[in-house]
Structure 1
Amino acid sequence: MISRRTIRSIAALLGLALLAGLAYAHRWRSNPSPCPYAQRHAIDLPRPVITRSRLRDVLEPQPGERLLEVGPGTGYYTGMVARAIEPSGTVHAVDVQSEMVEHLRTRMRQEGTLNVEPIRGDARSLPYPADTFDAAYLVLVLGEIPDQERALDELERVLKPDGRLVVGESLPDPHFVGFEGLRRRIEQRGLTFDARVGTRAGYFARFHVGTADRSIDPVE
């Protein structure tokens, strides 16, 4: 039989572990940073809510388009999007970590995907002129950027008139960005909410530059 003293000791240890976990999560959320390359295997795990097919349905990539992916990591979505815009379309995949860029370049070459351009760059200062892309997307990335407002400004800048922006978010990501706040911030930049799919804990949201609100919102 376990003594009360032992039970109290176990409870105290569990309490300390919980506090340490909460402190770590708070520090991680308060100091946004991209997933380290050493943990790259975690970002290739299946994503039940923010799936590749859902991204394709919301992004609506068309053959011949020029698309921007911010924070592709190891390329979980990149190949699928690139194949959808063949033969003359191009995906420019910008990641702040050089290791991720090289990993993605190798992966695309091994898969035989030739229309992806992996580039090392910062979302807060994208290396492209204004009105460059037909569409841009970032998934589980916005909350990792130290200056989200500047990154949103940059995304608006590089999109063409009538360009599309898709943002994907999902819990339990500690950098999760809620939809309502995201919509307000993006609409302040002149983009119009167009569609959202997924659940309240995980979603893809699409916005357009200077278009009418279609208000498609099939959230579970």
Structure 2
Amino acid sequence: MRKRTLIPAALLAAAFLYTLRARRHPAACPYRYRLAVSLPRPLLTRNRLRRTLSPSPGERILEVGPGTGYYALHTARWISPGGTLHVLDLQQKMIDHTTRRAAAKNIHNITPTRGDAQSLPYPDHSFDAAYLVATLGEIPDQDRALRELHRVLKPGGRLVVGELLPDPHMVPLRTLLSRAEAAGLRYEGRLGPRTGYYARFVPPEND
């Protein structure tokens, strides 16, 4: 009986230590775990992203950390005709995976770039909207990344951040609100519970 009690406790301790280490040493999800980032996300659904992001045909939108294209392939269709989705990732393998899937589905309005969210390779006021899902917590300097996202948004643009448990890198809503405010972004609201939410921000009106 004692062994049965110790096993769950050991698993919980291991999970806690893994989460602690992940928070202290944030890093992008390796390509070898690509199947995990392709799984359905019950709270962070594509439909909820669409409702929060409010994409329109003809817009220019940025996704940071597209992974294998779970959201990108749908977003690209939402902004057609005339729109362009720019996807930025640290890992070339993730970018290549997304672009291969897009080509296979006859989607041709995705522009891939390898780059760092802490120093976005785009001019000021480049995008109508931007989003990142289960990605912000993987960025070492979240404050800098949010300032960069603010910089590349057009006046009246939108930023959507999605976060979900049990992701060890999850950014709690309270932390996100504090960081976004420091980056000069105004909170408009969220969709979903605190355990799995999309939060929407906009630049101030005088940008």
Tell me the TM-score range normalised by the shorter chain: over 0.9
Q: 1:17, CA displacement in angstroms?
A: 3.9
Describe the superposition over 1:69-115 as per-residue Cα deviations: whole angstroms up to 9, x where unpaired: 00000010001111111111100000001110110110110111100
Mapped to 2, the partners of 1:131 and 1:24 lie a distance apart of 38
> Partner amino acid for 2:195?
A
Provide the identity percentage: 53
Deviation larger for 166-175 or 7-16? 7-16
Aligned ranges 1:4-43 → 2 under 5 Å: 7-43=1-37
Count of equivalent residues = 206
Mapped to 2, the partners of 1:15 and 1:190 lie a distance apart of 43
Secondary structure of the 1:180 match is helix
Match of 1:162 among 147, 151, 156: 156
Describe the superposition over 1:111-141 as per-residue Cα deviations: whole angstroms up to 9, x where unpaired: 1110001211110111111111110000000
Mapped to 2, the partners of 1:54 and 1:13 lie a distance apart of 38
> Partner amino acid for 2:124?
A
> Partner amino acid for 1:99?
K
Match of 1:183 among 165, 177, 180: 177
Match of 2:64 among 70, 95, 111: 70
> Partner amino acid for 1:49?
L
The TM-score, its normalising length taken from structure 1, stands at: 0.89
> Partner amino acid for 1:64?
G
Deviation larger for 10-19 or 178-187? 10-19
The TM-score, its normalising length taken from structure 2, stands at: 0.94
Match of 2:51 among 46, 52, 57: 57
CA RMSD of aligned residues (A): 1.5
Describe the superposition over 1:156-190 as per-residue Cα deviations: whole angstroms up to 9, x where unpaired: 11111111100001111111111122112212232
1:150 aligned partner: 144
User: Which has the greater radius of gyration?
Assistant: 1
Secondary structure of the 1:199 match is coil
1:116 aligned partner: 110
Q: 1:199, CA displacement in angstroms?
A: 1.0
Mapped to 2, the partners of 1:185 and 1:22 lie a distance apart of 24
Mapped to 2, the partners of 1:167 and 1:88 lie a distance apart of 24
Check conservation: 1:82, 1:113, Cα contact below 8 A: yes
Runs of 4+ deviating beyond 3 Å: 7-18
1:133 aligned partner: 127
Q: 1:15, CA displacement in angstroms?
A: 3.8
> Partner amino acid for 2:84?
T
1:196 aligned partner: 190
